[in-house]
């Protein structure tokens, strides 16, 4: 069993695309894989299949229904805001202990690779007084940090690495998900980041697949 927490430098960077791509890569190899996205905001029941959790279920080869959504995403909120704000709109909350226990149990029970996808960026608040980083710090997981290739991504990525370092953690891998606008080639961005971090860096072309070498590395 290996647990991986998929987080990012911000929202709409490519976490779900990566998560689904890894699932599909594992399934092509006939290897056991599971995934959860415990917290989701911006969820509309009428188009559940298009939600992040719906896409993950489809990648796993499972129907998108209420029971299976509950199983991988017990905290779902309608407003497309940070989860703490979205929950407040519904007079609800995300309890840290319950969330951390849910993730830990899923990781422990997984027969193979378990992917835990965060909500929003690394420092996005999930509850009243905790963020994705707090959740990560409570779990025995390898951290996959997804970043873009837009102007400013180097600062954002190094800031995320520094925040992890304060908690005694570091990314297991950095995945550069190609942005729509690129001031330089993704390879140049990777080369600059490599001067500051020792973490393996993988390139995920826009519209392309998840790198096979990343999937292979997850099997180690």
Known catalytic residues?
A: 37
Nearest to 53 by CA among 30, 31, 69, 66: 69
Angle at which helix 186-194 crosses helix 153-166, to 10 degrees, equals 40
CA distance 82 to 42: 9
For the record, the structure tokens of 205 come out as: 């072309």
φ/ψ of residue 42, rounded to 5: 75, 30
CA distances from 67 to 46, 54, 57, 73 (A): 15, 12, 11, 10
Partners of 29 in the β-ladder: none
**Secondary element (H or E) of residue 133:** helix 132-137
First to last CA, the chain: 10
DSSP assigned state of 140: -
Burial letters 82-111, b for 16+ CB under 10 A, else e: bbbebbeeeeeebebeebbebbbebbeebe
């Amino acid at each position: 069993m290996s647990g991986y927490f998929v987080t990012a430098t911000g929202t709409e960077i490519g976490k779900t695309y990566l998560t689904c791509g890894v699932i599909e890569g594992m399934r092509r190899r006939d290897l056991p894989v599971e995934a959860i996205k415990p917290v989701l905001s911006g969820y509309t029941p009428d188009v559940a299949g298009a939600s992040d959790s719906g896409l993950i279920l489809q990648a796993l080869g499972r129907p998108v229904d209420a029971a299976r959504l509950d199983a991988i995403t017990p905290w779902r909120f309608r407003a497309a805001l940070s989860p703490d704000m979205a929950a407040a709109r519904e007079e609800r909350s995300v309890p840290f202990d319950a969330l951390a226990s849910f993730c830990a149990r899923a990781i422990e029970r997984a027969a193979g690779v378990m992917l835990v996808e965060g909500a929003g960026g690394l420092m996005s608040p999930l509850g009243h007084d905790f963020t994705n980083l707090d959740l990560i710090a409570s779990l025995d997981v390898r951290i996959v940090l997804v970043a873009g290739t837009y102007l400013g991504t180097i600062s954002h990525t190094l800031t995320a690495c520094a925040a992890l370092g304060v908690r005694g953690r570091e990314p297991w891998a950095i995945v550069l998900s190609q942005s729509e606008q690129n001031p330089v080639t993704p390879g140049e961005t990777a080369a600059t980041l490599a001067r500051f971090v020792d973490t393996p860096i993988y390139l995920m072309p826009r519209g392309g697949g998840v790198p096979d070498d990343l999937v292979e590395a997850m099997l180690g």
